[in-house]
Structure 1
Amino acid sequence: MTDVAALAATLAAHPHVTGKRDIDTVCAALALGQDSPGRPGDDAAALPDGDGWQLMATEGFMNDFVAQAPWFAGWCAVMVNVSDIAAMGGRATALTNALWAPDAGIAAEILRGMAEASAAYGVPIVGGHSNLRTDRPQLAASIWGRAKALITSFDAEPGDALIAAVDMRGHYPGDSDNFPAFLSAPPDRLRGDLALLPELAEAGLVRAGKDISQGGIAGTAVMLAECSGVGIEIDTDAIPLPADTALARWMVTFPSFGFLLAAKPTDVAAICTRLAARDLSAGVIGRVTPGSAVTLCAGDTRATLWDHAAQPYLGLAPAPEPAHA
């Protein structure tokens, strides 16, 4: 049986999990809360527009990653952005980038990765910023999209089931905690898999969730819990694992297709059936609870991973209800 106390302590101190605390610092400096325009804390900003929402997101990448894996960084600049839009129940429409490099030769591999991912996901790159006279390669990209029905980080409710939806048809490249499942995937499969998220939102099956990002299942669950002002219990024995993968590693893994979805128990079967029809792993790994703690459970043992009331994570919890006389 999993030693959940040791696992919780390991995850709470992991750099992939603690790195998300930077969001708190930035939001505080800009005086942003979850009620600010665009609702910071979500996977993309959602701005009301007619009968739907305009969506916008930005991703930046560590300089060492861009220097060591330029093609992969370029691909990821597209992939993680389209995932953010899908996580909101949206469809991506266009990308821009901001690229710095010492010369055109070094920039070429980054741009090749972006161009190939743009073609694979069917999202055009429509402009950006370029500087080929800097001392190191750097990369960021922004994306726009549109949603008819939103999946948000703010609408998980006690009693909801927590579903993990992941494409397991991938592998770890070396020691990295990235888990790409796109390297041999045909473009129509990549596009069809992402299209499931807006379809689930528009069918009224999913209203809350997040894409599994650099914090892995662990950090993503804490973000979802804090933004929704709830607790989450995760059954570690229910989490599907790739072959020969330790649970502690999988809990901080960044999959190329991975989402945590909060749904009513009566909708779980319909959601999992749609995902399984595309050979995506989908199953209930926990539940949303009252309170503020993200808890790991194995059998009768429990351990707190993070309590966002005691220690804010993103600093984007709902404002407390006003006191009444």
Structure 2
Amino acid sequence: MPLLDVPALMGPAVVARPAEFLVVVAEGSDIDEYRRLRRAAFVDEQGIFEGTDRDDLDDDPRTVVLVARAGSTVVGGVRISPVGVRDIGWWTGSRLVVAPSARSVAGIGSALVAAACALAEQLGVVRFDATVQSRSSILFRRLGWQTTGTLVIGGVDHLAMRWPVDRHQRLVDATKAHLEAVLEPHSAWTDSPIASLGGPGWVGDDGAPVSGTDVIAACDAILPSMVERDPEWAGWCGVLVNVNDLSAMGASPVGLLDAVGGRDTAFVRRVMSGLRRGAEAWGVPLIGGHTQIGVPASLSVTALGRTTAPVPGGGGRYGDALSLTIDTSGSWRDGHHGSQWNSTEGRRSAELQDLAGTVARARPAAAKDVSMAGIVGTAGMLAEASGYGAVLDVDRIPVPGAASSDGTGRVSMGDWLGCFPGFGMLTADRPGDSRMDSPYAETAEVGSLTLERGVALRWPDGEVTTAVRGGVTGLGPA
């Protein structure tokens, strides 16, 4: 059979036609060509600027330029850059341009804007704004941008627009939003004669008071994929997350129990090695558990603690200040960049135990340890359990590297607000009354409890953006 007959028998060719242009991060001469296109469009053609459209952002080393190339020719471009000396996750896109010779090629402007949005989120941007000529705004609206204001630049009408970054909504949806459907707090347990789900005042808390005793119980399972990939770290974290749960309630840990499984003895010993290191570091005995060989990787740890006056997660009141106490030392855990910060393995035992005692010493009105839902999601859980919402002042949040000489920091705000930070406690008290303190952590008032449900982010210019809509868990007030 002749080769040319095959496509006729098999249908359309499976190889798509190559794109007429490609969007890339610009370097060297591509940046020069992009700036030439800008000057031709905004100075010579439209007269918005006189002489030049260059500004300080062109000289900022953090600014990233994206260009559309047709072959070796630059046919369009756009730039994105942080707002302010310190990058707090607020970026802006600007100077979108398409060469006159390429304006008949469909999709160049849209592709540049879409690529800028994707790159901004990849860089950990939490708020992404742009100033857009009114005549071009339909392109942005089609891509999901929202109008936030109007202004005139160089005699030309513009719109202030914003790309809705929903990374923290997606995170809480993935980690916490299922709890209401699974636990059925408003139906299945309503008529229960026992203090189920922690009992009134403690529903959804980090640990559970055992009725009639001074015992607090907590239990956490580590993701099987994490146990499989990083068994020693999984064992360490099995201790860490449970001690944090007890600490958030002001309880002193007294013992741990584990349930661990794995494909063979050698693998399970690696998990146990991490568990033993963690137990010794926090000074908590591993008092028993269950082990199984020849099964998929798994790890669950239960912790027992004691306190006569547990601190509730839902004890906040309207107007209370939210304080964040967080250890910003350390670095991203290898293999978990952007999701798990490792400050604890670099701490001595006495330092870890001092951090674990912060809530017990301070006795705040409410406390939650920062979990896999991140700072934003945890603030939402504390607020929801208290019957309120929360607003966080982004520029007040302590971030690793924020005091570095170039002001850029080592961690993007988007990642930091959504990661598991090792040790982090969110607490609520009357403004100015926080007593949280440790020489091994930073404490700052970072927001407040509000009447509007969900979590909002407040920016230095007074703008407020939505991070989480409504409740995080659906469990409601504790």
Which TM-score bucket, shorter chain as reference? 0.7 to 0.9
Q: 1:305 aligns with which of 449, 467, 477?
A: 467
Please tell me the residue identity of whatever aligns with 1:104: T
Give the aligned partner of residue 10 of structure 1: 167
Report the more deviating stretch, 168-177 or 242-251. Answer: 168-177
User: Greater CA radius of gyration, 1 or 2?
Assistant: 2
Q: Give 2:141's aligned residue.
A: none
* Structure 1: gaps spanning 5 or more residues: 320-325
- Cross-structure match for 1:19: 175
- Residue 285 of structure 1: aligned partner: 446
Q: In the alignment, is the contact (CA less than 8 A) between 1:17 and 1:218 conserved in 2?
A: no
Kindly tell me: are residues 139 and 151 of structure 1, through their superposed partners in 2, closer, same or farther at Cα, counting changes over 3 Å?
same
> Are 2:225 and 1:64 aligned?
yes
* 1:250 aligned residue: 416
Which residue in 2 is equivalent to 1:227?
Answer: 385
Asked whether the equivalents of residues 338 and 416 of structure 2 are also in contact (C-alpha less than 8 Å), the reply is no
Measured in 2, the distance between the counterparts of 1:266 and 1:143 equals: 33
**Once the 2 structures are TM-superposed, how far is the Cα of residue 22 of structure 1 from its aligned partner?**
2.5
Letter in 1 for 2:346: S
Q: Are 2:332 and 2:338, in contact at CA under 8 Å, matched by a contact in 1?
A: yes
Q: Name the residue aligned to 1:314.
A: 473
- The one-letter code sitting in structure 1 at the alignment partner of 2:204 is G
* Counterpart secondary structure, 2:344: coil
Deviations 1:243-266 (A, max 9, x none): 221111001110111011111124
Q: Find the counterpart in structure 1 of residue 429 from structure 2.
A: 263
Identity of aligned residues (%): 28
1:97 to 258, 262, 266: 258
Higher RCO, Cα 8 Å, sep 6+? 1
Is the 1:165–1:280 contact (alpha carbons within 8 Å) kept by the matching residues of 2? yes
| 2:222 is equivalent to residue 41 of structure 1 | no
When structure 1 is superposed on structure 2, of 175-184 and 211-220 the one drifting more is 175-184
RMSD, matched Cα:
2.0
Q: Spell out the pairing of 1:192-211 with structure 2 (5 A cutoff).
A: 192-201=354-363, 206-211=364-369
Distance 1:158 1:188, change over 3 A: same
Q: Which amino acid aligns with 2:258?
A: N
TM-score, with length taken from structure 1? 0.87
2:394 counterpart letter in structure 1: T
Change (3 A) 1:261 1:303: same
User: Could you give the per-residue CA deviations for residues 71-127 of structure 1, whole angstroms, max 9, x where no partner exists?
Assistant: 000011111101100001111111101111111111011001001111111111111
Structure 1 residue 40: Cα displacement: 2.9
Matched with 1:129 is: 290
AA partner of residue 124 (structure 1): P
Q: CA deviation at 1:293?
A: 3.0
Work out the CA distance in 2 between the residues paired with 1:31 and 1:279: 43
CA distance in 1, matches of 2:301, 2:228: 16
Structure 2 segments unaligned to the other structure (5+ residues): 1-82, 84-89, 91-126, 129-161, 402-409
For the residue of structure 2 that corresponds to 1:283, the secondary structure is: strand
2:328, 2:398 within 8 Å by CA — same for their partners in 1?
A: no
Going from structure 1 to structure 2, the CA distance change for 1:7 and 1:41 (only over 3 Å counts) comes to farther
* Alignment length (residue pairs): 302
For 2:475, what is the secondary structure of its paired residue? coil
Counterpart of 2:305 in structure 1 is: 145
Q: Equivalent residue of 1:164, what SS?
A: strand
